[in-house]
Chain A
Amino acid sequence: MSLLDVRDLSVVFQRRGERPFTAVDQVSFTVEPGQTVGLVGESGCGKSVTSLAVMGLLPKRGNRVTGEVLFEGTDLLKLRPDDLRDRRGRDIGMIFQDPLSSLNPVIPIGVQVAEVLERHRGMDRRKALREARELLDAVGIPDPDRRLTEFPHQISGGMRQRALIAIALACKPRLLIADEPTTALDVTIQAQILTLLKQLVDETGTALIMITHDLGVVAGLCDTVNVLYGGKVVERAARHELFARPRHPYTHGLLNSVPRLDSVRGERLHAIRGSVADNIPWVEGCAFAPRCDNVVDACLDGPPPLEPTASGGDLRCNNPVSEEVAVP
């Protein structure tokens, strides 16, 4: 049994007086114990909403969440709020993009870490603070004794993100969801945090869902990668397969459009034309069709199905990029 099995997850935003908007459209993926899975896409592709829906963090009002989120066989979407709260923080940890807004500014860092331990592991404050010190030390925060009594504004962005990782890992969760954990950080700090995450995943055996727009981050970290476009998974493949032979024109286009540090200079970038706003609803065809170079008639004739590929991945495309076309 998979650790996490997301089946046909859909999220529809329904605001009064507005047309319903399908942010996540029948997304299915699985996460095995200890595996690192990437959800990649540009803004508006539904990657963050997917993670919020998995965690049950979307507000009840104005959203319709359907499908199944099976965590070790239990459907998280059907759990009562109390039971879900028990699981969140204990079995599933989450790290958000902006550490300053996900930490409470008026509570010392030590207490924020300790509070998770008190809530989920029934420790008393003293014992929890001792454990919190160990956790801060484990995530590489210098002088952890002093950090315990300090407030989030007193430490740097990279340290805040480390503190947040300490909170997420406090109860040794079996699944960690990281939503753009390094986007707000500088590259050298990003390298520190990614190395830390990789090391923690190796040591604790926790599974990781990595949500990012940065293909470089995925390349170094994820076992399996799901590429999202317009709320649907358009391509799924193992890491090496995806970067060596991207089959979906969108993945192919993305990989070709990013300037690389190690590429030959003076070559023109192959931009994908148009923008994410130039799409068509999935019911009418492929949402990427208006920007796609490989578009055929069938693309505007209903949504293409997600079909398994010969290399063990999945692909949602009528006219994929041929396997022979090499990428940069």
Chain B
Amino acid sequence: MTERTGTTDGAATGQAGAGDAAEQGRPLIELRDVKVHFPIKSGLLFDRTVGYVYAVDGVSLSINAGETYGLVGESGCGKSTLGRGLLRLVEPTDGEIVFDGTDVRALKGEAMRKARRRMQMIFQDPLSSLDPRQSVESLLVEGLKAHGLADDKEATSRRLRDTLQAVGLPASALSRYPHEFSGGQRQRIGIARALVLDPDLIVADEPVSALDVSIQAQVLNLLEDLQNERGLTYLIIAHDLAVVRHIADTVGVMYLGGLVEEASSDDLYREPMHPYTKALMSAVPVPDPLVEDRRERILLAGDLPSPTNPPAGCRFHTRCPWAQPTRCADERPALREVVGGHRVACHFAEDIAAGRLRPHEVEPELVRPDEGGTPGDPGELIPTP
């Protein structure tokens, strides 16, 4: 059982390095029933709201200080919108976001701006998120100035150098411009920009998906090192399950605006319980022919339904190989704890896990990418302010 020892060791060092021991296990940020709905406007002269995109539709989760929460899901599931909604880069329609004891949604103007120093974001594409006309120094100082932290020239310059060193860039990078760097280095600049403000929470939206395979590992290792040194809390949003498994302590799986499963990284990958997670996991190719040859894939029929008109009941029932004639089509399952710490939004999670239900064939349903029309479930409709 050498493997087991390896895991325990890794986890132990991770915890020892991460911040204050007293801070451990306390939730730094909590989301309660967060919704982000985008109105669909139409009309020539007057904008009329003809429907809503239910991008995020009732997500509750909490992230402990010093830990990494991984949010996975396919495109259109609302994971990025949730990350942005959390920082109020898009305004949530409803729900509570409690960051370190304060309700972020109640903050206004200056107070919100101040709070943002502690919550920073790393974007997917470093080239388009860095202003090409600003030098690295100017990019990094901008945030400091905005928060009034750049008064002392000497201290600022030291701070910039320290930050660059932390992300593995030479001090000479300060006078250079984003286009002079490679993709991996640019992502390091993006990380430095978030880091320079000494935040507590970093939301990283697809931090490695734009990078080459050999560079991804460098950036993932860097994120881990920074967390160990500074006790950072991460929300990592990614579509790549292997990346999330590697870096996250807790993983949440999203489908069509809702969380369908949440568990510790090891539990989730050892035994995925939601049918969607099972399918997602079985679809990820593993670079090992021996594994690939004897794998059984759960192939999902059809495409992701449109978030403007999500299916009633369980959002996944139209594609679910385990869907049952009762409940699935008309009752939306709540995210509930099925076994210790493992939350699943499925009416039949226990039956599926015990093998009492068998998967069946699903006819693919046609999905149109431009589907608009009437929103389902008008009872839940909350107008966007």
**Chain A contacts to B: CB under 8 angstroms:** 42-43, 140, 142-143, 153-159, 186-192, 194-195, 213-220, 239-240, 243-244, 253-255, 257-273, 275-277, 291, 328
- B35 → A minimal CB distance (Å): 23
B384 touches A (CB below 8 Å): no
Given A219-B291, A261-B286, A328-B288, 6 further pairs, Cβ under 8 A? A189-B74, A258-B217, A260-B242, A266-B14, A275-B185, A276-B212
A43:B10 contact, CB within 8 angstroms? no
Residues of A within 8 A of B10 (CB): 265-267
A277:B370 contact, CB within 8 angstroms? no
B184 touches A (CB below 8 Å): yes
A153:B286 contact, CB within 8 angstroms? no
Q: A243-B288, A254-B214 are known contacts. Are A264 and B3 too (CB-CB below 8 A)?
A: yes
B289:A240 contact, CB within 8 angstroms? yes
Docked CA distance A175–B279 (Å): 31
Interface 1/0 per residue, B225-264 and A, CB below 8 Å: 0000000000000010111011100000000000000000
Interchain Cβ contacts under 8 Å between A and B, 15 examples = A155-B368, A156-B304, A188-B279, A189-B303, A194-B285, A215-B287, A219-B292, A244-B290, A254-B213, A257-B214, A258-B217, A261-B245, A261-B284, A264-B7, A266-B10
Q: A258-B242, A261-B269, A267-B6 are known contacts. Are A216 and B217 too (CB-CB below 8 A)?
A: no
B368:A216 contact, CB within 8 angstroms? no
A159, A188, A257, A264: the one within 8 Å of B217 (CB): A257
Docked CA distance A244–B293 (Å): 14
Q: A254-B214, A261-B242, A269-B221 are known contacts. Are A275 and B184 too (CB-CB below 8 A)?
A: yes
B291:A262 contact, CB within 8 angstroms? yes
B285:A214 contact, CB within 8 angstroms? yes
B75, B279, B284: the one within 8 Å of A216 (CB): B284
Q: A42-B212, A195-B297, A265-B7 are known contacts. Are A275 and B182 too (CB-CB below 8 A)?
A: yes
Docked CA distance A258–B240 (Å): 11
Residues of B within 8 A of A269 (CB): 217, 220-221, 246
B213:A257 contact, CB within 8 angstroms? yes
Most buried by B among A140, A188, A257, A291: A188
Docked CA distance A156–B369 (Å): 6
Residues of A within 8 A of B286 (CB): 216, 219, 260-262
A259:B246 contact, CB within 8 angstroms? yes
Most buried by A among B11, B224, B291, B363: B291
Instruction: For the complex of A and B, list the 6 residue pairs with the smallest distance between their C-beta atoms, beginning with the closest.
Output: A266-B10, A216-B285, A220-B292, A271-B217, A191-B283, A259-B246
B185, B247, B370: the one within 8 Å of A153 (CB): B370
B182:A217 contact, CB within 8 angstroms? no
B292 to chain A: closest residue by CB: A220
A155:B221 contact, CB within 8 angstroms? no
B369:A155 contact, CB within 8 angstroms? yes
- A226 → B minimal CB distance (Å): 16
- B351 → A minimal CB distance (Å): 23
Residues of B within 8 A of A217 (CB): 285
B287 to chain A: closest residue by CB: A215
A221 to chain B: closest residue by CB: B292
B281 touches A (CB below 8 Å): yes
Most buried by A among B14, B289, B365, B369: B289
Q: A259-B246, A272-B214, A272-B217 are known contacts. Are A220 and B6 too (CB-CB below 8 A)?
A: no
Docked CA distance A277–B224 (Å): 25
Residues of B within 8 A of A261 (CB): 241-242, 245, 269, 281, 284, 286
Residues of B within 8 A of A157 (CB): 303, 369
Most buried by B among A142, A186, A244: A186
Docked CA distance A323–B243 (Å): 28
A213:B14 contact, CB within 8 angstroms? no
A195:B288 contact, CB within 8 angstroms? no
- B224 → A minimal CB distance (Å): 8
B218 to chain A: closest residue by CB: A271
Residues of A within 8 A of B220 (CB): 259, 269
B239:A187 contact, CB within 8 angstroms? yes
B289:A239 contact, CB within 8 angstroms? yes
Residues of B within 8 A of A258 (CB): 213, 216-217, 242, 287
Residues of B within 8 A of A239 (CB): 289
- A234 → B minimal CB distance (Å): 13
Residues of B within 8 A of A186 (CB): 74-75, 239, 304
Most buried by A among B288, B290, B293, B363: B288
B364 touches A (CB below 8 Å): yes
- A326 → B minimal CB distance (Å): 12
Docked CA distance A119–B189 (Å): 52
- A245 → B minimal CB distance (Å): 12
Docked CA distance A275–B10 (Å): 27
- B288 → A minimal CB distance (Å): 6
Q: A265-B265, A275-B184 are known contacts. Are A219 and B369 too (CB-CB below 8 A)?
A: no
B3 to chain A: closest residue by CB: A264
Residues of A within 8 A of B341 (CB): none
Residues of A within 8 A of B215 (CB): 271, 275
Residues of A within 8 A of B6 (CB): 264, 266-267
A271:B221 contact, CB within 8 angstroms? yes
B217:A265 contact, CB within 8 angstroms? no
A253:B214 contact, CB within 8 angstroms? yes
Which residues between 63 and 85 of chain B lie within 8 Å of chain A, taking CB atoms? 74-75
B300:A268 contact, CB within 8 angstroms? no
B214, B246, B282: the one within 8 Å of A191 (CB): B282
B11:A266 contact, CB within 8 angstroms? yes
Residues of B within 8 A of A255 (CB): 287
Residues of B within 8 A of A291 (CB): 214
B8 to chain A: closest residue by CB: A266
B280:A188 contact, CB within 8 angstroms? yes
A192, A216, A266: the one within 8 Å of B287 (CB): A216
Interface 1/0 per residue, B345-385 and A, CB below 8 Å: 00000000000000000011111111000000000000000
B279:A275 contact, CB within 8 angstroms? no
Docked CA distance A270–B367 (Å): 41
Docked CA distance A187–B300 (Å): 10
